[in-house]
Structure 1
Amino acid sequence: METVEQTGGCQCGAVRYRARGELGYPHICHCRMCQKAAGNYFMPLAAAMRDDFELTRGEPKWFHSSGLVRRGFCGDCGTPLFYDSPDADSINIMLGSLDDPQAVTPVMQSNLDSKMVWFHTLDGLPVEQEPETNDREDRIAASNRQHPDHDTSHWP
């Protein structure tokens, strides 16, 4: 039987990690603290057992957002990576930092009292038209500094 493995890291590639085994309790947290930590409307998380988790490049910086929890992020590019209760047997990974974020589907939501009341309207919003030329996208691609969605021997 093949062991499931998830890899991921920050946008600039300074911090990379690997988690073996299924990620537990993939969920979306809507609490205000997660909103602030993500700079977004919610935070998608899932737990990796500590024994099955390793940093493969660099070290995150940590912010103690409460007396019980610290949040790990890249000190270079600022990408949020981890939600950690140091006494727990697992560490939570931010699902958007996975190399393949579509591989893990959330099964639950939490802290709905802070959920944006207009989320149900998102699918009805108009879709921005694609540009007639790819000039801007070509310039972005030519100057892209984002780490690829896979492990590399070094970066940059």
Structure 2
Amino acid sequence: MHKGSCLCGAVNFTVAGDLAPPDACHCSQCRKQSGHVWASTDVPEERISISGQEHISWYASSEKVRRGFCKNCGSVLFWDPIHHPRIAVAMGAFDPPTGTKLHVHIFTADKGDYYDIADNVPQE
């Protein structure tokens, strides 16, 4: 069982079972939303329980995806592909230990020009 929350604690979640290895997304949408890089793990919807859903605001960033954040403190928490049985959860929102390591950087061709990726993790 893994637990996490937003900064103010209004939104809490638990994930049953092990976490999938996370990825770090460098696309412009994820960078603009998160302020840098979006690191997340994909969780099957049936394995996550969210309390405080009334404090989540959802932004439709495309016809296929909505992004969830706490409307109280602004914590970026979820990336939800509409009509898919999974949700991506922000790694930074989990209470440690997560028991996982970053396994890939994605959309690296779109990364910001102000940083380098130098951690020897595969890049796509």
TM-score (norm 2): 0.85
Larger strand fraction of residues: 2
Alignment-mate amino acid for residue 57 of structure 1: G
Map 1:53-64 → 2, pairs under 5 A: 53-59=48-54, 60-64=56-60
Q: Which residue in 1 is equivalent to 2:13?
A: 17
What whole-Å deviation, never above 9, does each CA across 1:117-143 have from its counterpart, x for those lacking one?
A: 53257xxxxxxxxxxxxxxxxxxxxxx
Q: Residues 67 and 25 of structure 1: is their aligned pair in 2 closer, same or farther, counting only changes over 3 Å?
A: farther
TM-score (norm 1): 0.68
Percent identity between matched residues is 30
Other structure's SS at 1:34 match: helix
Q: Contact 1:25/1:46 (CA < 8 Å) preserved in 2? A: yes
CA distance in 2 between partners of 1:100 and 1:51 (Å): 22
Q: Residues 120 and 54 of structure 1: is their aligned pair in 2 closer, same or farther, counting only changes over 3 Å?
A: closer
Q: Contact 1:95/1:104 (CA < 8 Å) preserved in 2? A: no
Q: Residues 119 and 14 of structure 1: is their aligned pair in 2 closer, same or farther, counting only changes over 3 Å?
A: same
Larger-gyration structure (1/2): 1
RMSD: 1.9
Q: Contact 2:24/2:105 (CA < 8 Å) preserved in 1? A: yes
Q: Contact 2:19/2:99 (CA < 8 Å) preserved in 1? A: no
Displacement, 1:39?
1.6
Larger helix fraction of residues: 1
Map 1:32-71 → 2, pairs under 5 A: 32-40=28-36, 42-59=37-54, 60-71=56-67
How many equivalent pairs are there?
A: 117
Alignment-mate amino acid for residue 105 of structure 2: Q
